[in-house]
Amino acid sequence: MELAYYSDYAVRLVNSEEPGRGKDSLTTVEAVRDLFGANRSAARRATDADLTRFRGVRARLRSVFEAADGGDETLAVDLLNSLLLEFPVSPQISGHDHRDDDDRPLWHMHLADHPSNATAGYAAIAAMGLAFHLTEYGVDRLGLCEASPCRNAYLDTSTNRSRRYCSDRCATRANVAAYRARKRAEADRSDSTGRSAEKAHEATATTDR
């Protein structure tokens, strides 16, 4: 079962909003449909009514990432379980590809949703994918970017659980900001040391007089 593919549904939806920057790309039905990626048949079900519903699910998924990022493992699981109960799916065997050596189907496990609307279908797959990722790799693999003000969600797939940023761009920006902060601190310390030495010299000169 393509766990990374399904869990990415959750990441895509959460990252359609950047609260720290006041940005929200989820403003049209087309934006909703784009979230489905290659699953165009499911995307076609989206209507204007799904905009509000998608934003509600997005807030709940972000809460899962926030709880995980904050170290509250139980809360993250509870929040995700509530989504799983509300938006259930069924596993289904699919054979849309074929083996290289013959014409037999290459069977896969997929998540079959039976939604009443596009939001229910998307939420079911996103929640189940995130649940698979959480149970397979651990709650601490769900994170929020540390590069302020980004806070985009990401799934840590590094071998040493070291990921802290959602992208190379944010990592570079954070490293540059940290470097500049260190340089400012060094300059401030140098100025402070220089002023202290100058005052000490003045005090010595006054005493000599």
| pLDDT tens per residue, range 9-18 | 999 999 999 9
Token couple for 136: 């397979």
Token couple for 81: 């379980």
Contacts of residue 32, Cβ cutoff 8 Å, sequence gap at least 6? 26, 43, 46, 50, 51, 54, 118
Asked whether the bond before 91 is cis by omega within 30 degrees of 0, the reply is: no
Does pTM surpass 0.75?
yes
Mean per-residue pLDDT, 154-182: 86
Residues 42-63 pLDDT 10s: 899 999 999 999 999 999 999 9
State the Cα–Cα distance between residues 13 and 44, nearest whole angstrom: 17
Q: How many CB atoms lie under 10 A from the CB of residue 209? A: 4
State the Cα–Cα distance between residues 10 and 126, nearest whole angstrom: 5
Q: In terms of C-beta distances under 8 Å and separation of at least 24 residues, what long-range contacts does 109-112 make, across chains too?
A: 109/1, 110/1, 111/1, 111/6
Residues 68-84 pLDDT 10s: 999 999 999 999 999 99
State the Cα–Cα distance between residues 181 and 187, nearest whole angstrom: 10
